[in-house]
Amino acid sequence: MALAKRIIPCLDVKNGQTVKGTNFVNLRQAGDPVELGKAYSEQGADELVYLDITASHEGRKTFTDMVQRVAAEISIPFTVGGGINELADVERLLNAGADKVSVNSAALRRPQLIDDITGHFGSQVCVVAIDAKETEEGWFCYLNGGRIRTERKLFDWAREACDRGAGEILFTSMDHDGVKQGFANEALARLSDELSIPVIASGGAGRKEHFRDAFLLGKSDAALAASVFHFGEIPIPGLKEWLKDEGINVRI
Amino acid sequence: MNVAIVKYNAGNIRSVANALKRLGITPELTDDAERLSKADCVLFPGQGEAGSTMAYLKSRGLDRLICGLKQPVLGICIGQQLLCRHSEESDTECLGVFDVEVKRFQPMRHEDKVPHMGWNTLSGLRGDLFKGFGKDEFVYFVHSYYVPVNPCTSAVTEYIVPFSAALHKDNFYATQFHPEKSGSVGERILKNFLDLAL
């Protein structure tokens, strides 16, 4: 056996509640991120990602409280992201019990943040999330949840993040995200080939086959998805059994 | 039951306390010699760097104290590595409970990423921690250094090389993986450890 490929549900959290709808049964509160995370954990999710999409200061506090509850109640690793701008944010979230933090725009604006995080807490806590879009001149990185285009090229930035000590790259292809036609496997494979750290595929899951392709064609170490899990379109236990039958090493 | 966790300068100690609470145990986080000595069992968890954590343990006299504990002791992650004789990380003399040298993973192929992070399987299980275990159960790892297979090895995992996922000698137990982050499998390991103190 070897290191298993990971399946990671991603939960968007606003004011302490998950945003995307769910049709999980047997949940006391379907909108409660802790209850939902627990359900995923019991179904066999390998890790969880919680993204804080609250803008306000009070929202931050609510999110930190939620992180503490997740840490208390869930027995698998989890990453938190959204609104992490400085080392103090990282410290607050790790102290609350998060295993890893995911940084995106703040790192792109000030790459030294990656060195600061990994210097203080180690590479293993630092996930660098990259939103990118393919154009005729190649892949470019975007800021602020894909709203602002930068001149940074995807593969250059990913390599720099890796050199600065990032522990993992979470790559979202903006054109694939939400379309449910599969992950950006060509770009994923190139990232995997060029980097010496794990790559998490994000954006595009619509069918079981897409996960297989992200692992086999995209050479990803992990695949992240939101709506197909939240709406119960692809239940995790069935997905993992199917992937295993397809010859992919997953934890069952 | 009186369960103590060694308080020192390693990270991620609280997640072990959380896991014990889920099992109905409220552990005491302490660096007090008497409290540690009197506990029914002691956990020595954490993530960190060998040189600085070892220096901290020595500065508080916790090095001799830990080696002298008579009740069941469970080292986790850096805790397992510090229970060994020496670590390549910062060329550090460690506690020496397990007479073995901690080495850094040397990637052989591009796929061999360091740290070894994620879920991997256990084999060659021996001893009380793995009571009731089946074949190829998955546990969660995050580490760049490893303990080679040796006479105290009680579980083996393959990553680049076969290494000691767990160790056992007398009252000392250790795991390289994180039982506190390994879902229900990890909970069974922690329960088995707590049972030793009954």
Residues of A in contact with B52 (CB under 8 A): none
Highest averaged pLDDT of the listed ranges A14-28, A52-66, B58-72: B58-72
Side chain identity at B136, as an amino acid letter? D
Q: What is the CATH number of the domain that holds B29?
A: 3.40.50.880
Q: Which domain holds residue B141?
A: 3-196
Query: Contact at 8 Å (CB) between A153 and A187?
Result: no
Nearest residue to B158 (alpha-carbon basis) of B167, B150, B170, B149: B149
Angle between helices A57-73 and A87-95 (to 10 degrees): 40
pLDDT of residue A29: 55
Q: For chain A, report the end-to-end CA distance as a whole number of angstroms.
A: 13
Q: Identify the residue with better confidence: B192 or A119.
A: B192
Q: Is residue A27 predicted with pLDDT exceeding 80?
A: no
What confidence tens digit (pLDDT) does each residue in B164-176 have?
999 999 999 999 9
A 119-158 near B (Cβ less than 8 A): 121-124
Q: Is the entire prediction scored with pTM above 0.90? A: yes
Query: Contact at 8 Å (CB) between A225 and A235?
Result: no
ipTM associated with this complex: 0.91
As for how many domains chain B has, the answer is 1
Measure the CA–CA gap between A17 and B46, rounded to whole angstroms: 31
**Beta strands per DSSP E along B54-152:** 73-76, 84-87, 92-93, 98-104, 116-121, 138-143, 145-146
Copy the structure tokens of residue A121. 């807490």
Residue A42 neighbours by CB distance under 10 Å: 15
Structural domains of chain A, with CATH: 6-245 (3.20.20.70)
Residues of A in contact with B162 (CB under 8 A): none
Nearest residue to B164 (alpha-carbon basis) of B172, B88, B173, B154: B154
Q: Among residues B41, B49, B77, B94, which one is catalytic?
A: B77
What confidence tens digit (pLDDT) does each residue in B64-96 have?
999 999 999 999 999 999 999 999 999 999 999
| H helical segments located in A164-202 | 185-194
Measure the CA–CA gap between B26 and A188, rounded to whole angstroms: 44
What's phi and psi for B25, nearest 5 deg?
Answer: -110, 135
Q: Is residue A25 predicted with pLDDT exceeding 60?
A: no
**B119 touches A at CB < 8 Å:** yes
Q: Active site includes A12?
A: yes
Measure the CA–CA gap between A33 and B27, rounded to whole angstroms: 27
